[in-house]
Chain A
Amino acid sequence: MPKRSRPTHPSRPAPPRPGDLLLHDPILRTISRAAFALVMLFALLLLWRGHNAPGGGFIAGLMTVCALILHRIANNQSALRLNPAKLVPWGLALSLTTGLVPYLLGLPFLKSDYGYVTTALTGEFEWATALFFDLGVYLVVVGAGLSLAYALIDVQPNERVEGDG
C-alpha cells in the first residue's frame, strides 16, 4: 500500500484518541479500589465452587485477569508482585502433578478422588482432588492472560511494526 504522509507539525500535541489509556483518572481509581476486591473474591468463589456449581478454573482465571487489568490501568501498577508469566509453569506443573499422583498409585492418569469431611465450623464439607487440577488451570489462565495483556499495555506507541498501515 502506498504511504500517504502529511506534513508534520511537531509543536502540536497529539489529541487523545479513543483507546488511549486513562492515567490518574480519579473516578476509575476509586471504583477500581472497591471493584478489584469484589471481583477477586468472586473469582476465588467461582474457583472454589466450580465442582458443584457453574464456575471452575478457567472462568475464575479470566475473571482474575479482568480484575488485575482494571487494577493495573487504574493505578498504573500491577497488583501482582511478580512477572505473571512465571505463574504459567507452576500451574502446568500443578495440574500435571495432580494427574500423576493417581497414576503412580496405579489408578488411571488424572483420576480424581473426593470425599466428605464434617467439622464443627463448616458442617459437612466436600473435598475433591479435582480442585488442585482446577487451581493449576487457574494459574495458567491468569499467567497467560495477564502476560498477554501486560505485553499489550507495555508496547510503546513508537514500537509499531514498520510497513503496517
Chain B
Amino acid sequence: MTLAVLLPFVMAALCAWLARPLGRRTGYLAALAFVPALLLAAPLAGSSVEPGGTALSQNTPWVPELGLNLVFRGDGFSLLFAVLIGVIGTLASLYSVAYLSPRERFGRFYPYLLLFGGSMLGLVLSDNLIALFGFWEMTSVTSFLLIGLWHTRSEARDGAVKAFLISALGGLGLLAAVALLSMAGGSTLLSELDLEAVRASPLFVPALLLTLLAAFTKSAQLPFHLWLPTAMEAPTPVSAFLHSATMVKAGVVLVAKFGLIFGSSALWAGIIVPLGLATLFWGSWRALKQTDLKALLAYSTVSQLGLLMALYGLADAEGRFAATTHLLNHAAFKAALFFVVGIIDHETGTREVSQLSGLRRKLPITFVLAGLAALSMAGLPPLGGFISKELFYEAMLHAGPAFIAVAVLGSALTLAYSARLVAIFFGSYRAPVDDGGRSLKADVHEAGPGLLLPPALLAAGALLFGVWPQSTEWLTRRVGAALDFAGYGGHLYLWHGVTPALIATLITWALGAALVWQSARVYALQLRLELPISSNGGYRALLRGLGTFASALITRTQGLALPDQLRITLAAAGLMGGYAVWRAPQVFQPFGTLPPSVLPIAVLLVAGAMGVLLSRNRLTAVILTGLTGFGSAAAFLAMRAPDLALTQLLIEAVTVILFLLVFQYLPGIRDLPRRRSRYAVDVVLAGASGVGATLLILASLRFLAPPISPYYLENAYKGGGGKNVVNVILVDFRGFDTLGEIVVVAVVALAVGSLVRLGRRGRAPTETDTDRQSPNRTIPVRPINNQPSPTDQEVRR
C-alpha cells in the first residue's frame, strides 16, 4: 500500500524528467504508476476485508514523537476506493495519450496527474489523521495545478483559483477537525480513536461541523458547488479523473469514514441528508439548463454527489450499502461519459448541444457507449444505475415523505438531462459550424481505439453492474466490514417485485418523460426562473471586497515612509515584548563572567551606534553601522566563538557592499521631512525598545532547562567526526534545519530575481535590457545627459 501511494510521486518526477524525449508516450509511463494501486485488488478480493479478518496495515515511522506516521490501512472501503482510483487513473492516462495534442506540455500534465493520483490514494488509504489532512491538501493543490493547466486562458486561471480557495477553506476546517478529534479520541490514528470518549467530549459538535465543512467544500455541496463547473476548464481526461471519479469524492470518503464516528449524532444526518438532497435537486435542475456537454456533466456530478452524500449521511447500514453501490455505478458511468464527451469534442470540435445532432451515423461506437453510460446515469434498467437508484429510493422512503419527493424530482430531472445528452446522437446529421457559419471540422469520423477503449471498458462495467447484479453486490460486500453494514441483509436485483421504490421509479419515469416531451417549455421556464442572485456572484463580490480591503490596508500601512513603518514596527514589538515581560516576571540573573576585553568593544559598539545617528552623510552612516557589526564580530572573538565571529564578519562585509550598491537609488539622507513633535515620539520609542531588548536578553540568561551544549561537545567528534562542533551541529545533528535554511535562502533569491525582472518588464526596453542575464553584461552607467527624474533632483540638493 505504501508503494501504491508513493510510486505515483516517484513516477511524477520521472515523467517530468522524461517528458521531453518521450512526448505523448509519457502517458504509458504514467499509467504504470497506478499498477500497485490496481494490485490492491488482490487483498480486496482476499479475506482481509471479511468481517472477522484483520485489516491490512502498514506503518512507516516519520515523526513518531508527534504521532505523525505514514500509516496506511487497507480496510475494504479504502481498498475499493484505491482500486477505483487506480482504474480510472490508468484509463485517464491512456486516454490522454490519444486525446491531447502532441504539442501539449506533457512535462507538466503527467506529473500533475500523478501527483494528484498519489495524493488521492494517500487520502483514502491513510489511517493517520494528520497525514490524511496532508494528502487532502495535496489534492487541493494538485487539482489547482491541473485545472489551471492551460493557464494562458483566464477561465482556467479563475476556475483553478476558485476551486483552490473553496477547497482550501474546507481544508482548514479539516485541519481543525482532525486536531479536535485526536485530542478528544486520544490517538492520531483513525482506527484507534476512542469513539466513546469522542462522543462524550465537548469537542464533538465542533469537530462534526468542521468535518462537514471540509466534506461539503470538497464534494461541491450547496452552497460550495460553484467551483465544480468552472473546474471543467481542465483538459477532459483530467475532468474524467478528478471531477467524476476521485477528487470530488474525497468529501464523500470523508463522510463515509467519519460517519462511523459522528453518525450517532442526530445533527450529522440532520445536516447532510437535507443538504445532499438539495444539492441533488439543484445540480440536476442546473444540469438540464446547460448547453455545453461538459457543463452538463459537471452539474450532473454535483447532483450525483448530493445523492451520495445524502445516502452516506443517513448513517445506517442500508444507506451505506446503497451509497457504496451507487459509488461504483457513478464512477463507471460518469467517467465513461466524460471520455465520450471528450471524443465528441475531439472529433467535431464543439461541445454545444445545439450544434450537434445525428451523430450516431458518424460516431456509431461512441453512440453505443454514450447510450449505455447515459442510461445508467438516468437510472434505467438493465443498467447499474437503475439498481442503485432503487436502493436510494428505498432508503429515502424510510427517511420520510419529503425526502422521497425531492429524490424523485431530482431523479426525473436526471432522466431529462440524460436524454438531452443522448439526443445529440439522433435526428439528421448537421456539420457543426462556428460563429461565422463555417464548418468546424471538415470530416467527422469515429475516434481511434486509444480514445474508445477507456470509455468502452467503463460502459461495459456499467452494463455488467446491471445485468449481473451479483458482481456489484460482491464488490459492495467487500466494504461491509469497513463501513459497518456487514449485517445488512439486502441484496441487489434487477427485479425486486412491486415495491414502493418501484412505484417511485415509475413516477420518476413519467415525470422524466414529461420533462423530455415538453423540453422547450421547461427550458423557457428555467430561463424565466433565473435567480437574480447567484452564488457565483456572491463569490465574486466576496473576492472583490477582499481585494478592496487588502489594498486599503496596504495603502494605510505600506504606503508610509520608512521611518513611520519603523515606528509602527518598533511600537508593536515593544508592546508584545512588554506584555510578555509583564505577564511572566523574570528573575534576572547577574551577568556571567565576561572577559574584560569585551568592555572596550562594547564602548566601540555604542559609539558606532551613536555615530550613525549623528552622521549627516550616508557613507559615514554605513561605515559606522559597519563598526557595530565588526564590533559584534570582535565581541564574539573575545568570547572565543571564532565561527560566529567569522560569519558575522562576512555578513557585515556583504551587507556593506549591498548597501553601497543600493546607494545610488536612495534619496538624500536628510531629505525626509522631520517635525519637531515627532522627536518626542522617537525618543520614547527608541528608549523603550532599547530597554525592552536589554530586558529580553537579561531574561534569556536564565536557563529554563539544562543546557544541551555538553551533549554536542561530547558527541560531535564521536558521532560526526568533526572537531568543529558548530559545523558538526550544522551539517549533522541539526542538518535538517540547515536544509530548511538554505531552502529559505533559495526562495529569497528566487523572489528577488522575479521582483527585478518584474520591475524591468513594465518599462520600455533599452539596449542593455535583456531578460537573460548574460555574464558579460556591462554594468549600466547612469545616462549622463538624460533628463533626470524628479527623484534625481531631490537627491542632489
Q: Are B619 and A18 in contact (CB under 8 A)?
A: yes
Chain A residues positioned under 8 Å from B748 (CB to CB): 144, 148
Given A83-B775, A149-B658, A151-B752, A53-B732 contact (CB < 8 Å): no
Distance between B723 CB and nearest chain A CB, rounded to angstroms: 4
Per the bound structure, the CA–CA distance linking A134 and B561 in Å amounts to: 41
Q: Are B721 and A51 in contact (CB under 8 A)?
A: yes
Per the bound structure, the CA–CA distance linking A158 and B782 in Å amounts to: 8
Q: Are B561 and A1 in contact (CB under 8 A)?
A: yes
Give A82's nearest chain B residue, CB to CB. B775
Contact of B759 among A8, A57, A126, A161 (CB under 8 A): A161
Q: Are A1 and B673 in contact (CB under 8 A)?
A: yes
- A28 at the B interface (CB under 8 A): no
Per the bound structure, the CA–CA distance linking A87 and B793 in Å amounts to: 39
Chain B residues positioned under 8 Å from A153 (CB to CB): 661, 779
- B52 at the A interface (CB under 8 A): no
B729-755 CB mask vs A (1 if < 8 Å, else 0) is 011100110110011011011101100
Q: Are B735 and A20 in contact (CB under 8 A)?
A: no
Distance between A144 CB and nearest chain B CB, rounded to angstroms: 3
| Segment touching A, from B290-298, B315-323, B642-650 | B642-650
Distance between A35 CB and nearest chain B CB, rounded to angstroms: 13
Chain A residues positioned under 8 Å from B742 (CB to CB): 91-92, 95, 136-137, 140-141
- B531 at the A interface (CB under 8 A): no
Per the bound structure, the CA–CA distance linking A92 and B797 in Å amounts to: 47
Per the bound structure, the CA–CA distance linking A11 and B786 in Å amounts to: 9
Give B755's nearest chain A residue, CB to CB. A151
B750-797 residues with Cβ-Cβ distance < 8 A to A are 750, 752-753, 756, 759-760, 763, 766, 768-769, 772-773, 775-797
Given A17-B795, A85-B753, A128-B722, A148-B650 contact (CB < 8 Å): no
Distance between A152 CB and nearest chain B CB, rounded to angstroms: 4
Q: Are A53 and B654 in contact (CB under 8 A)?
A: no
Q: Are A76 and B778 in contact (CB under 8 A)?
A: yes
Per the bound structure, the CA–CA distance linking A21 and B665 in Å amounts to: 12
Contact of A66 among B657, B722, B746 (CB under 8 A): B657
Max chain A Cβ within 10 angstroms of own Cβ: one of B671, B738, B743: B738
| Residues of A in contact with B, size category | 35 or more
Per the bound structure, the CA–CA distance linking A127 and B786 in Å amounts to: 58
- B617 at the A interface (CB under 8 A): yes
B5-23 CB mask vs A (1 if < 8 Å, else 0) is 0000000000000000000
Given A51-B724, A73-B779, A99-B735 contact (CB < 8 Å): yes
Per the bound structure, the CA–CA distance linking A157 and B784 in Å amounts to: 11
Give A17's nearest chain B residue, CB to CB. B664
- B618 at the A interface (CB under 8 A): yes
Q: Are A159 and B760 in contact (CB under 8 A)?
A: yes
Per the bound structure, the CA–CA distance linking A164 and B794 in Å amounts to: 11
Q: Are B746 and A76 in contact (CB under 8 A)?
A: no
7 closest Cβ pairs, A-B complex: A19-B663, A114-B721, A144-B749, A110-B735, A62-B650, A130-B731, A52-B723
Q: A77-B777, A160-B789 are in contact. List 9 more A-B contacts (CB 8 A).
A: A6-B797, A8-B787, A54-B646, A66-B653, A73-B779, A110-B735, A143-B746, A148-B752, A151-B752
Return 23 A-B CB contacts under 8 Å, by A number.
Answer: A5-B790, A14-B788, A19-B662, A51-B727, A54-B726, A55-B643, A56-B731, A57-B731, A59-B647, A59-B650, A66-B657, A81-B775, A130-B720, A137-B738, A141-B745, A143-B746, A154-B756, A154-B777, A157-B665, A157-B780, A158-B763, A161-B759, A165-B790
